[in-house]
Amino acid sequence: MYEEFLEIGVEEKHKRFDPEAGMIMQHVAPWNGGSGGYHTRISGDLHSPTENSAFADHVFFLRKEEYYEEAKSVLWGLIKYQDNREDSKTYGLWPYYIEEDCDHMIAPDYNMADFNAKHFAYILKRRSDCLDDELRSALSESLMKAAICSIRRNVSPDYTNISLMSLNTIINAGEISGNKEFLERGKERLRKVHEYNAFCGCFSEYNSSTYSPLAIEEISMMLELFEDEECVKMAKDLNVIAWEMLLSHYHRNLKQVSPPQMRCYHNFEGSKLEEMIYLGTKGAFGSIDKANPKYPAMLQIPPVCPEEVVEKYLKKPFEPTFIDQTFYKKNNFRTPDEDTVIIRNIDSPDLKAFTYMAEEYAMGAFEKTDMWTQRRSSMVYWGEGQQATCMFLRCMNYDYDYCSGMVYTNQYRNVMLSHTGFVTDRGDFHYILDKTKDGLLTTKKLFYKFEFDGDCDNIKVEQNGGRFTVKDKGITIEINITEAVFDGKPMKLCYNETDKCIEAVCFDTERTIDFKNLKSDCHMVFTLAVNTACPEPVTVKDETEQLLKSELTMDGKTLTLCSPYIPVGYDSAIEKTKTEGRE
């Protein structure tokens, strides 16, 4: 079934084959300051190794002989543009585009070794008969170089999608070459990934509408290609965890992943998730528009949702659900020699996430999180399917998300109690890639905003001081901002009709802030409730510990939240923030 959809993607890429370069070409628009640019900002007519490796793989997978010469040309190009310098830090890696090598990128992306090599592994294991001896040998050597790159990087299991993808590179390279050292390295890493995720009960790349499906794709490839019985058994266990991660948060009416999300590129996934569920359950659940599929045209190995997960999440009638989940548990699995990505501190305390799914809406938040552009916390979805709407909290450095903004939350069912704040060392643009994290910020405007997206035409927002009432499609959201100060001065609270957002403005004239030496209050206290009234919290300051403590009592339940009220280091903020009162 999925082959016909995969063929659509192959045909589209074939139309962009560039005979001069011998590779698929794509047009990349100029970087606009709000959609990327972490690793490169080149634009124009470019050739992407990842798009080309997928094209070659899919051509051979489908045995489309009319495109074999193009696919072979692509593979030779990929072998050529891999970093083949044995003394290079990026040995075995590919750049984003062949027009800009790794040395000239803003920051090389080590994920590219695995994004390309996994396709080589499939070709060599399942379609080697399509290659001549020379290309087969060169491709195998290239796969080994990528495996060396991945082994040297030694990514931690907290980086879910890449930790899984690297296993497809390393274990398959070991099995293809007969290199027992590579195979044992891969098995050792797989055991750690298996134990780590089983211990936490879910993925650290938590509840991502982008990366949960990608994790399932990688595990599906493991189940298709791995020969070692122990590896196959562990992959089956990981497949259960992956599908549980996705379906435990999938809202069948909204057709979205309920918040919060550790990483998210789009607020709405269109038909992608429905299509994946359709394929994973062999058409029993989900749906697909066969005339215009979005997801399957990129898919190669069909996903298989374990029957016990189908029984648990898809066959039962919908019921309102509250999820209070410790998605990261302090552990000894991770080690200092690994490349930690999602949870940088190997001594991090437990991390929690809250989700409530009602029939008409879904809402959720992390207990403590930075406000990097890919985070989704303090978020509500409502509406239906392709007409859904959402609202979520962002911290803005003028026109881009400020990574050192923080939000802390306690939630029970449809009520959130939250504080905001700042940290001194999380960066401005990116919490890993920013080269300077000195707590200095120069900007024209610094503010928090509750931003609306999706079908916003009929949203009504009323303001009464710090209380905002949002009404739309049968739901009412109450946001009550009870305290809002920056550098000891009140924030300006308003609804911005033009930009469709509720703003809490720290300042809006050009200013340089030194967060490391800022000792005045910088916090906001608010409650967020959907389809229910919510009393005001009682908030007190602990001057000794420099903590803000809020309590909210309703229906016989008291929620408490403690967090720093002045800027501190990120690890200190995570350690000090506490919540109680949900049982």
Cβ(260)–Cβ(205) under 8 Å?
A: no
Residue written as tokens 């060392």? 425
Phi, psi of 224 (to 5 degrees): -80, -40
pLDDT band at 32 (very low <50, low <70, confident <90, very high): low
Cα 379 to Cα 364: distance, rounded to the nearest angstrom = 6
The yes-or-no verdict on residue 550 having pLDDT over 90 is yes
Tell me the three-class secondary structure of 278-290, residue by residue.
HHHCCCCCCCCCC
User: With b meaning 16 or more CB within 10 Å and e meaning fewer, what string describes 7-34?
Assistant: bebbeebbeebeeebbbbbbebeeeeee
For the stretch 81-93, pLDDT in tens is 999 999 999 999 9
pLDDT band at 9 (very low <50, low <70, confident <90, very high): confident
E strand intervals along 487-546: 489-490, 492-496, 501-507, 511-514, 522-530, 538-542
Cα 107 to Cα 386: distance, rounded to the nearest angstrom = 37
For the stretch 477-502, pLDDT in tens is 999 999 999 999 999 999 999 999 99
- Which residues lie below 8 Å from residue 338, measured CB to CB, with a gap of 6+? 154, 155, 156, 346
Average pLDDT over residues 296-303: 76
pLDDT band at 34 (very low <50, low <70, confident <90, very high): very low
Which amino acid is it at 468?
F
Paired tokens of 541: 């300051």
Cα 15 to Cα 2: distance, rounded to the nearest angstrom = 21
Average pLDDT over residues 40-48: 94
Q: What is the DSSP string of 150-167?
A: HHHH-B-TTSHHHHHHHH
Average pLDDT over residues 290-301: 73
Average pLDDT over residues 178-202: 97
Cα 353 to Cα 328: distance, rounded to the nearest angstrom = 9
DSSP letter at 434 equals: -
The yes-or-no verdict on residue 149 having pLDDT over 90 is yes
Strand partners, 381: 362, 390
Nearest to 514 by CA among 575, 409, 437, 429: 437
Phi, psi of 567 (to 5 degrees): -65, 135
E strand intervals along 338-458: 351-357, 361-366, 368-370, 379-382, 389-397, 400-401, 405-412, 415-422, 440-443, 446-454
- The CB density around residue 440, as the number of other CB atoms within 10 Å, is 14
For the stretch 78-136, pLDDT in tens is 999 999 999 999 999 999 999 999 999 999 999 999 999 999 999 999 999 999 999 99
362 CB-side CA count, 13 A: 28
- In degrees, rounded to 5, the angle at the alpha carbon of residue 304 between the alpha carbons of residues 302 and 308 is 175
Paired tokens of 308: 């016990």
Burial class, 197, CB count within 10 angstroms (exposed 0-12 / middle 13-18 / buried 19+): buried
Paired tokens of 120: 């080589």
Q: What is the mean pLDDT of the chain?
A: 95
Q: What is the DSSP string of 133-200?
A: HHHHHHHHHHHHHHHHHHHHH-B-TTSHHHHHHHHHHHHHHHHHHT-HHHHHHHHHHHHHHHHHHHHH
pLDDT at position 33: 54
145, 186, 239, 310 from 222: Cα distances, Å:
20, 12, 10, 21
pLDDT band at 190 (very low <50, low <70, confident <90, very high): very high
Judged by DSSP in three states, 248 sits in coil
* Helices (runs of H) and strands (runs of E) counted in the chain: 12, 29
User: Pairing between strand 446-454 and 389-397?
Assistant: antiparallel
Phi, psi of 227 (to 5 degrees): -100, -30
Nearest to 363 by CA among 395, 388, 326, 392: 392
Q: What is the DSSP string of 278-321?
A: HHHTTTSSS---TTS-SSGGG--SPP---HHHHHHHTSSPP--E
pLDDT at position 415: 97
Residue written as tokens 């602990």? 542
For the stretch 397-410, pLDDT in tens is 999 999 999 999 99
Q: Ranked by mean pLDDT, which of 229-243, 377-391, 549-563 comes out on top? A: 229-243
79, 210, 276, 343, 345 from 349: Cα distances, Å:
43, 26, 34, 10, 9
DSSP letter at 93 equals: -
Average pLDDT over residues 164-172: 97
Give alpha helix (H) positions in 63-132. Answer: 68-81, 111-126
pLDDT band at 5 (very low <50, low <70, confident <90, very high): confident
Average pLDDT over residues 164-174: 97
Burial class, 265, CB count within 10 angstroms (exposed 0-12 / middle 13-18 / buried 19+): middle
Phi, psi of 427 (to 5 degrees): 90, 180
pLDDT at position 35: 47
- Taking the CA atoms of the chain, what radius of gyration do you get in angstroms? 25
The yes-or-no verdict on residue 74 having pLDDT over 50 is yes
pLDDT at position 202: 96
Residue written as tokens 């710090």? 466
Nearest to 164 by CA among 204, 123, 124, 108: 204
